[in-house]
A and B are shown apart, each in its own frame.
Chain A
Amino acid sequence: MTASGATEPNPLAAALERLPVHATTLVIFGATGDLARRKLLPALYNLAHEGALPEHFALVGSSRGKLSDEAFRDLAVSAVREFSRRPPDEKVLAKLFEAARYVAGPFDDDTVYERLAAVLPELDEQAGRRLNRCFYLSTAPEFFPVIVKALGVHNLDDAEDAEVRVIIEKPFGTRLAEARELNEIVLSVFEERQVFRIDHYLGKETVQNVLALRFANGMFEPLWNRNYIDHVQITASEDIGIGTRAGYYDKAGALRDLVQNHMLQLLTLLCMEPPVDFSADEVRDEKVKVLRAIHAPSADDIPKMAVRAQYSPGNAAGVEVPGYLEEAGVPASSNTETYAALRLEVDNWRWAGVPMFLRTGKRLARKVTEIAVILKPVPHLAFREDGAKGVRPNVLVLTVQPNEGVSLSIGAKIPGTRMAIRPVQMEFLYGSAFMSQSPEAYERLILDAMRGDATLFTRNDEVEAQWRICDPIVAAWEAAPGPLPQYEAGSQGPAEGDALLDGDRTWRMI
């Protein structure tokens, strides 16, 4: 097969902001679902608006619902009008979906794949060349193995003179064994280079900026180790409850929903060694090394390193809200955690002895995702006792959302005749320093998958290494009887979470 970049370099592509993308047909399984309507179809529109799609681009939607091509096109147009980050240009919108195709049927029905096998060459014919094929699995996870196997059975996993890729949404398994089994199925049909496991956090500009901050600035690297860093706190809190997602959430819980994937991604980016270069495998090799350096907890360790809880009724942002067990669709006896906090240790030369605290929860005081690196205190304070009272360890905070940026707290003299110190903030906000609006994570990831760049996707060994850490905790929690500790909705979280932090350490205010 041939692909972009296979032979001589393209002299016309030098210094272009939007690099060429090979002509592609994107097949979305679950094309009428919530993710497709809210994220994927608007992302495609925004790529089209900016001229970033390939010169030949074809879209095929597939779902159980019986729709005509025309009805699917209408659905796609409506989704863009409702959820696009920019008002659509009607001419671009009309052109984008005017030739979109739709294949209806259950995902375990052979006729779906037979229809696809007929439609895809038609699209090649219309384009006058072989289009690469990207299959996007935006379905309930139980259909991932079904679809992958069916693609193999119907010889849709390979195409002459074209690349075939499969993009798999999260969750990639709900336990280690399940993730391994899914990997085996996927890799029995596709090669790893064809597989793009989505973790949309990696598509966020501010998450990618963790690497820029660490590896493009000389001032941080000398401090980035156990000698100067006391501990790390990674927080992903939400102020909202589960809304209408009880069906999904009660099966998943906070650990599976955010810790196993997004939060461990943040941890690996924070702790990884500098890669040789930023190619997909070099970056992912370093991330996997971090995960391997985290010991899977034993049953005895878990009560000391993991805390779970559920939100109880409370006042969130001035509104009385129900507790988790009172939410619509949640069983009254549910033991699903809406809060999870972990203490992890990365046992390698750089990080030995530096605890990494992770916490996530629903219905907490506010929505924030941040990495806080708390440095060790200075070894000696020469100020008088009362003047030194305000001295605090430096804290470097990388905020992923909502106010994306970096802040560093430093001690400064309070104006006056006395030498008194208090912490002040040096703050950098993305929005203030760049004029560009960050693209939606899905825009970046869809484009990268069409280009075949897997740097921002999770590799098979990476996802299994994540599960190796979380699986014993899931097992222990599933085996333990309820009820779970409670925290009041709108609060800072459960008191039990505080017990994870020893000595003078405390959680940062959410």
Chain B
Amino acid sequence: MTAPVLDSYWSAQDTTPPAIEAALRQLVADRHRENEGYIAARALNMVTIVDAEYSGEIANRLRRVGRYHASRTVVCSVEPGRTTIDARAMVASEADPRPGKFSLMRETVVVSVGEQHLPHLARIVDPLIVTDLKTIVWSPHGHPEAVDSLVDPEGGARPLGECVLWDSAGEPEAHVALDRVCDLAACCEVVDLAWLRVTPWRERLAAHFDPADRRPELRTLSKISVRHGADSLISGLLLVGWLCERLGWRTEQLTRHGDLLRGRARGRRGEVELRLEPVGDMRVPGLSGLEIRSDLGTMFALARGEGGLRARRIERKGDERTWTVLGASRGEPGILGEGIRHALIPDPTYPPALAAARRMIV
């Protein structure tokens, strides 16, 4: 990606949100006055809450998301013991505008706050976001009280953030992570990176069973097996939950057999065996493969491969075929970019899949 041009910069110590907002407004106006080709992006606000000592790592991740940048990013950098607010505001564009063209400006505000500010973070952030734009909240280092302040404020106040960016991967306890994300989903939209890692698999399954002569096979499925990265059980649960919900199966609690989770879902025609198995050799979070069998004796499997997903199908008479379903890997930076983009495209199939996933695990 092209490195952004840092156009304007402002900083202050022991400052206030109105002063930061005024400075930001001035920076944008100055740039526009200098050249009308500078246009402020106005697609999405993003509020990021990070531990100060890891803020560089988060900044790097945000820089690598490709084209899907928020228009205004407010980074709340949490320093233990801090009592005052320091701030830096930056306006950057990817290039100087060419004649007759425009160049987008994106604004970033880094606000240094202390833990004491977190329960009331909305009061600090409110003046800093662009009114009427959707706001997504990302808190990769926890700080649930700050997130709640923004998306689920006490006393029935109107929330500042409509959407939370969340990543279930790596959460040590799946049921705790699912409880938390269910709570969030009850009060706002959730964009779960664990769900987005499953998207290509969902698309391939939908495509495979799309031909009219193959759709009836969906009613005969008898076994679903999913292999997932060691840190990506929730991606596996979401995929199975989505299948169960879309196909009208009732999910039940799975049982643990060592690392393996097994159980059943109940459909109109009988039971469907479910199996989730971790694999240890994955370098990135997400799924490693899946296999779907039917009562008819057919089998369809997908696995990670070069240039796309490797597909394998066995027909009821035993004929077997393999092929590649084309698609480039988005990589983890691309997944984060997709997460930011999906703040503007709510997925109505996620909440029911999440609910189904939650029922499968204690």
Q: Which residues of A contact B (CB under 8 A)?
A: 2-8, 10-23, 48-51, 53-57, 89, 91-96, 127-129, 366, 402-403, 429, 431-437
In the complex, the answer to whether B43 meets A18 with C-beta atoms within 8 Å is no
26 A-B contact pairs sorted by A residue (CB < 8 Å) = A7-B215, A8-B212, A10-B209, A10-B210, A10-B215, A11-B218, A12-B206, A12-B246, A16-B206, A17-B345, A19-B206, A20-B206, A23-B211, A48-B326, A51-B328, A91-B306, A91-B328, A92-B327, A95-B308, A128-B313, A432-B43, A433-B41, A435-B43, A435-B68, A435-B69, A436-B68
CB of A77, distance to nearest CB on chain B (Å): 13
Q: Is the CB of B311 within 8 A of A49?
A: no
Q: Encode contact with A along B298-339: 1 for CB under 8 Å, 0 otherwise.
A: 000000001110010101000101011111110000000000
Asked if residues B204 and A49 are in contact (CB atoms below 8 Å), the reply is no
List chain A residues, Cβ under 8 A from B307: 89, 91-96
A2 to B213, CA, bound (A): 8
Interface: B44 (CB within 8 A): yes
Q: How far is the CA of A129 from the CA of B204 in the complex (A)?
A: 17
B residues in contact with A51, CB < 8 Å = 200, 203-204, 308, 325-328
Closest 4 CB pairs of A and B: A51-B327, A95-B307, A20-B210, A12-B206
Stretch at the interface among B98-106, B144-152, B177-185, B230-238: B98-106
Query: How many angstroms between the C-alpha atoms of A48 and B100 in the bound complex?
Result: 33
B344 to chain A: which residues have CB within 8 Å?
434-435
Given contacts A5-B212, A15-B347, contact A95 B246 (CB under 8 A): no
Closest CB in chain A relative to B348 CB, distance in Å: 5
Q: Is B256 in the interface zone, CB < 8 Å from A?
A: no
- Residues of chain B within 8 A (CB-CB) of A13 are 206, 210
- Asked if B205 is an interface residue, CB under 8 A from chain A, the answer is yes
Chain A residues whose C-beta falls within 8 Å of the C-beta of B113 in the assembled complex: none
Q: Which of B321, B327, B344 has the most CB of A within 10 A?
A: B327
- The one of B202, B315, B319 in contact with A12, judged by C-beta atoms closer than 8 angstroms, is B202
- The answer, among B204, B208, B321, B349, for a CB contact under 8 Å with A14, is B349
B202 CB contacts on chain A under 8 angstroms: 12, 16
Total interface residues on B, CB under 8 Å, equals 57
Residues of the A chain whose Cβ atoms lie less than 8 Å from the Cβ of B208: 55
Q: Decide: A95 and B324 in contact? CB cutoff 8 A.
A: yes
Give the shortest distance, in Å, between A1 (CB) and chain B (any CB). Answer: 10
B175 contacts partner chain A, Cβ-Cβ < 8 Å = no
Q: Is B360 an interface residue (CB 8 A)?
A: no
Q: Are B215 and A8 in contact (CB under 8 A)?
A: yes
Which residues of chain A come closer than 8 Å to B41, judged between CB atoms? 431-433
A484 and B205 CA atoms in complex are apart in Å by 61
Contacts A92-B326, A95-B308, A432-B42 given; does A7 touch B212 at CB 8 Å: yes
Complex Cα–Cα for A57 and B327 (A) = 12
Q: Within the complex, what minimum Cβ distance (angstroms) separates B265 from chain A? A: 15
Q: Decide: A432 near B39, CB < 8 A? Known: A10-B206, A18-B203, A402-B100.
A: yes
Residues from chain A with Cβ under 8 Å of B87 in the complex: none
Known: A11-B246, A14-B348, A91-B307. 16 other contacts (CB 8 A): A2-B211, A6-B212, A7-B215, A11-B248, A14-B349, A15-B349, A16-B202, A91-B306, A128-B319, A402-B100, A431-B41, A432-B41, A432-B42, A433-B42, A435-B67, A435-B68
A435 touches B207 (CB 8 A): no
User: A57 CA to B210 CA in the complex, in Å?
Assistant: 15
Chain B contacts of A11 at CB under 8 A? 218, 246-248
CB-defined contacts of B324 to chain A, threshold 8 Å: 95
Residue of B with least CB distance to A403 = B102
Q: Total contacts A to B, CB within 8 angstroms?
A: 144
Inter-chain contacts of B203 with A (CB < 8 A): 16, 18, 20, 51
- Whether A96 contacts B326 in the complex (CB less than 8 A), given A3-B212, A5-B212, A434-B43, comes out as yes
Nearest residue (CB) in A for B213 is A2
Contacts of B325 in A (CB 8 A): 51, 55
Across the two chains, which residue of chain B brings its CB closest to A23?
Answer: B211
A21 touches which of B102, B207, B218 (Cβ 8 Å): B207
Nearest CB of A to B310, in Å: 10
Contacts of B287 in A (CB 8 A): none
- The listed residue (A14, A19, A50) touching B327 by CB distance below 8 A is A50
Q: Which residues of A contact B349 (CB under 8 A)?
A: 14-15
State the CA gap A244–B207 with chains docked (Å). Answer: 43
Contact of B246 among A2, A14, A50 (CB under 8 A): A14
Structural contact, B101 and A403, CB atoms closer than 8 A? yes
A124 to chain B, nearest CB (A): 12
Interchain CA distance A189-B193 in the complex, whole Å: 50
Closest B residue to A93 by CB, please name it.
B307
Whether A128 contacts B321 in the complex (CB less than 8 A), given A15-B348, A92-B328, A433-B43, comes out as: yes
Minimum Cβ distance to chain A for residue B63 (Å): 15
Is the Cβ of B43 less than 8 Å from the Cβ of A55?
Answer: no
State in angstroms the CA–CA spacing of A402 and B324 once bound together: 38
**Please, which residue of chain B has its CB at the minimum distance from the CB of A4?**
B210
Are A429 and B39 also in contact (CB < 8 A) when A11-B218, A13-B210, A127-B323 are?
yes
Q: What's the minimum C-beta distance from B323 to chain A, rounded to whole angstroms?
A: 7
Taken together as a complex, chains A and B put the C-alpha atoms of A15 and B350 apart, in Å, by: 10
Indicate if B111 sits at the interface (CB-CB under 8 A): no
Closest chain A residue to B214, Cβ basis: A129
**CB–CB B215/A432 < 8 A:** no
Which of chain B's residues have a CB closer than 8 A to the CB of A435?
43-44, 67-69, 340-341, 344
Q: In the complex, A127→B324 CA distance in Å?
A: 11
* B40 on the A face (CB < 8 A): yes
Task: Please give the distance in Å from A434's CB to the nearest CB on chain B.
Answer: 6
> Given that A2-B213, A20-B206 are known contacts, is A49 also in contact with B319, CB under 8 Å in the complex?
no
CA distance A93 to B311 in the complex (A): 18
Q: How far is the CB of A39 from chain B (nearest CB, A)?
A: 19
How far apart are the CA atoms of A39 and B46 in the complex, in Å?
Answer: 36
Residues 81-105 of chain B: 1 if any A CB is under 8 Å from the residue's CB, otherwise 0? 0000000000000000000111010
Cβ contact of B210, chosen from A22, A403, A436, cutoff 8 A: A22
Smallest beta-carbon distance A452→chain B, Å: 13
Residue on A with the closest CB to B68?
A: A435
Contacts A4-B212, A11-B247, A432-B42 given; indicate if A49 touches B206 (C-beta within 8 A). no
- By beta carbon, the residue of chain A nearest B39 is A432
Which of B42, B212, B326 has a CB less than 8 Å from the CB of A2?
Answer: B212
Measured between beta carbons, the chain A residues less than 8 angstroms from B328 are: 48-51, 89, 91-92
Distance, CA A292 to CA B42, complexed state (A): 41
Q: How far does the alpha carbon of A433 sit from the alpha carbon of B104 in the complex, in Å?
A: 10
Question: When chains A and B are docked, how far (Å) is the Cα of A12 from the Cα of B200?
Answer: 12
Nearest chain A residue, comparing its CB with the CB of B350: A15
